[in-house]
Structure formats: structure tokens, C-alpha cells
Structure 1
């Protein structure tokens, strides 16, 4: 009977200076591949779970509110902001999505006469509310006095922030915070104009308030 061992049972030769105490290169590579497979599989599982959550039926509610004088009733995801309700459900795109974090004021509208950042306001909390957007300011073909003042004073450049600036200005006038340019600047400070038209914006609000 042969006394030779099969190749798989023969210990690999050890060269000078090599040690056998640590894992072999083959073991390290195999372990890395195995761990990588687990990570990829886990990532695929999590991605699938997120996709399932995203495509699942999210809680929704029916809300009725008056927008620019017209009663509207819609069913929306409970997470829908007033801004998205206006833009995506009611096709009122005058209110702009700037920062979507309440920091720029481009989405300003009036809710029951008060200025709000519509990007931070949940639509489902506005049952029975009255909302006024930039589209609802004009009286037919006649512009709101502040809209006309913005044109007269050239109080805009790119125009992206203008709807929010005008709505905030209307609220500022209604609140009576127009006794001085300094007060107007203070109460309009939540509306950012990246083009830097602040002097003319303040002038338009000031002149509209004086005429009123």
C-alpha cells in the first residue's frame, strides 16, 4: 500500500522568514469576498425595503380649503406640504420652491391673512383655511398695487423670489409694519433676494403702504 498522502493533505512548504501563525493570503481573499457578498446582499435588501416603503400606500387624508376664492377638495399624502399641494395638485406654480427649508421665503403665501412658508406647512392641517397665492392678488386684468409698484420700481431682476417677496410685502402692509424703511427691512428679512434688489423692494412696499 502506498504511504503517500493526497495533495490536499500535504502541508505547503514554508520559505525562509515566513510564518504560519497568521491567515494565508487565500484565506484573506476568500473572507473578503464572502464579507463583500454579504454587504452587497444587505445593501440590495435595504434598497428593496426602501423601494417597497416608497411605493407602498402611504397614509392620506382628504382636505378642503379655499384657494384664491375657490373651494378646493383634494386627497393628499399626509406628508404633502402646502407648497407641493399648490404646485403639483392645483397647478398654481407661482409660489416657488427655493430652499424647501423655510430659509428663503420664495414660497411665501397668505393663510387666513397671515404670512407662512408654504414649504413648511402641512396641507392636511389647513382644513377650512383660506389661502392666497400670487395668482390670487390681481383683480382680473388689474394688478394688485404692490405688483404694480414692483414693476414701477424695477424691484426684481431674475424674478425667482418675486412672488414670495410680493406676498410677504402684502402681509407686511396688512400687519402695519411699514412705518419706516428700517421696519420694512426687519419684517421682510425672511425673504431672500440673491440678485440684491432689497432697496427697490423696500421702496415698492413703502410706496404701496403710503398710497393705502
Structure 2
């Protein structure tokens, strides 16, 4: 009996560019991005999906890339922090983070930015959170207004060891007004 194959060719469309990669079946999306494509914006923080430093958008939804096996996402569209700006023009969230000092050491910032982008889309599609008032949640799919409480709840999976949370919330508020 022949041993099973341990690698597969995986196609990922990352920041608008298609890549075909020969990957070990155990390779995560995070490791494919960092080690095979040289995109080091998404960080390996805890490697257990508890800190959010590895957050990217996969098919438009925010996700912790450290737990996603690349072979299970063959054909997926991945957006990393490197894909947010358009040329020299920063994405509005990036500009707001700079304006509001929404970072200190910067380690969590790429994950914070991708998570914020995904969170804004989720709220815009009417997805309620734990703090969404029942009357507003009942209006789904109407957009959920992003109050500071909503933003804090929705961003709670992204940790900042420096404690820049107040500035992160303010930056997101600036973009969503």
C-alpha cells in the first residue's frame, strides 16, 4: 500500500492576485501567507485563535487564519492588511487608525484593521451582536448602528496588549459615521 499524499496544490486569490501553491496538508492559511507568499502583515500571536493578530478576510468574512487549513480553502479569496490600501492611498480605516493613534507597538494592528473591516460589513448586513438592542435586532437585515458598545463587543476577539482600545474604537467610529 502506498502512503497517502501529504501535499496538494492549493489556489488562493490573495489581495486580488491568484497564487497556486504546493502545500503540506497541515499548512494553515496564516503560514501560507507568511511563509510561502511573504505577506507578513497577519501575525502569529497565540496560534490558537484567541488573540486575533492573524485576522484576515476570507471570502469577505473575517477569520482567524491560524486555524484554517489552506487545503480546505482552495479557491478562496483572501484579503490581508497588505491588500487594504489602493496604491499610496490608505484605506479609510488605516487613515483613521493613524489619525487616532489606534496602535502603539503595532503588532495587533493588521488583525484589528481586517477585523474592523469585516465587522463593519457584518453590522451593515444586519447581523446582531450580544449588545444589539432586541428592537434593532428584530429589524434584521437592516444595518445595525455601530455605537461604541457595539464596536467594543464586535472587536472583542482582537486583543491589544498595549491597551489602545479607546483609540481603536474612536478610529472605527470615525469611519462608520
Task: Select the residue among 1, 12, 16 that pairs with 1:69.
Answer: 16
Structure of higher CA gyration radius:
1
Q: Distance in 2 between matches of 1:159 and 1:90?
A: 21
Q: Distance in 1 between matches of 2:145 and 2:28?
A: 30
- Asked whether 1:196 is paired with 2:155, we answer no
Where 1:61 maps in the other structure, the secondary structure is strand
Name the residue aligned to 1:170.
117
Q: Could you list the per-position Cα deviations for residues 131-155 of structure 1 after superposition, in whole angstroms to 9, with x for gaps in the alignment?
A: 0000000000000000000000011
Q: Distance in 2 between matches of 1:72 and 1:172?
A: 27
Name the residue aligned to 1:118.
65
Q: Could you list the per-position Cα deviations for residues 91-123 of structure 1 after superposition, in whole angstroms to 9, with x for gaps in the alignment?
A: 000110100110000000000000000000000
Aligned length: 155
- Unpaired segments ≥5 residues, structure 2: 124-143
Q: Could you list the per-position Cα deviations for residues 3-46 of structure 1 after superposition, in whole angstroms to 9, with x for gaps in the alignment?
A: xxxxxxxxxxxxxxxxxxxxxxxxxxxxxxxxxxxxxxxxxxxx
Q: Distance in 2 between matches of 1:121 and 1:82?
A: 6
Stretches of 4+ moved more than 2 A in 1? none
Q: Distance in 1 between matches of 2:32 and 2:163?
A: 30
Higher RCO (C-alpha 8 Å, min separation 6)? 2
Name the residue aligned to 2:152.
185
Q: Distance in 1 between matches of 2:85 and 2:41?
A: 13
More helix by percentage:
1
Shift of 1:173: 1.0
Quick check: 1:109–1:167 contact (8 Å CA) kept in 2? Answer: yes
Quick check: 1:83–1:107 contact (8 Å CA) kept in 2? Answer: yes
TM-score normalized by the length of structure 1: 0.71
- Asked whether 1:100 is paired with 2:47, we answer yes
Shift of 1:207: 1.0
Shift of 1:179: 2.0
Shift of 1:189: 0.3
**How much is the aligned-residue C-alpha RMSD, in angstroms?**
1.5
Q: Distance in 1 between matches of 2:100 and 2:5?
A: 47
- Asked whether 1:60 is paired with 2:7, we answer yes
- Asked whether 1:147 is paired with 2:94, we answer yes
Name the residue aligned to 1:5.
none
Shift of 1:187: 0.6
